[in-house]
Amino acid sequence: MKKLPNSIIKFDPYVRGKMFGRTGPHQWIRDTSSDRWIPNIKCPFMVWVAKDDKITEYRHVPREDLLRNKNCILVEAQHGGHCDFFTKNDAGTGYFKFKRSSSDIIIKYFDSVNEFNQQES
């Protein structure tokens, strides 16, 4: 039995790379990466990463490029998920032991941007 890929880098040549005509995972990642567009972003934007994300490894985050753009707010969490972030819910049990924290932070971000825009006008 053939061993299944255990990472995105090992998975890409078999699926996404072939679908889009790329010869290897590094070419696919380079071609689809958003880092080349970061200098062109002219409105406020937030990037939220987790240092323990298993899908988008922190070492691949274009941190310096993001920090060079004055419109970027970079949030670097120690723990989190690829698509969501959770905090402990002391009142919960079982599946409800954790609650999503991302929505609270995103709302605060939008409120801050709105407040900033009102001060600028």
pLDDT digits (tens, 9 = 90+) for 10-46: 777 777 777 888 777 777 777 778 888 999 999 888 8
Domain contains 26: yes
| Residue whose pair of structure tokens reads 């009102």 in the numeric block | 118
CB contact at 8 A, 40 and 109? no
**pLDDT for the residue numbered 7:** 76
**Residues 6+ away with beta carbon under 8 Å from 42:** 71
- Same structural domain, 26 and 54: no
**pLDDT for the residue numbered 95:** 66
The total of structural domains in the chain comes to 2
Domain contains 99: yes
**pLDDT for the residue numbered 37:** 92
Tokens encoding 2: 């053939």
Domain contains 28: yes
Give the closest residue to 87 by CA, choosing from 103, 76, 109, 75: 103
Phi, psi of 36 (to 5 degrees): -70, -15
**pLDDT for the residue numbered 68:** 96
pLDDT digits (tens, 9 = 90+) for 1-19: 678 877 777 777 777 777 8
Kindly report the number of other CB atoms within 10 A of residue 28's CB atom: 22
- Average pLDDT on 46-66 reads 88
Domain contains 2: no
C-alpha–C-alpha distance, residues 71 and 63, integer Å: 14
DSSP annotation of 33 reads: -
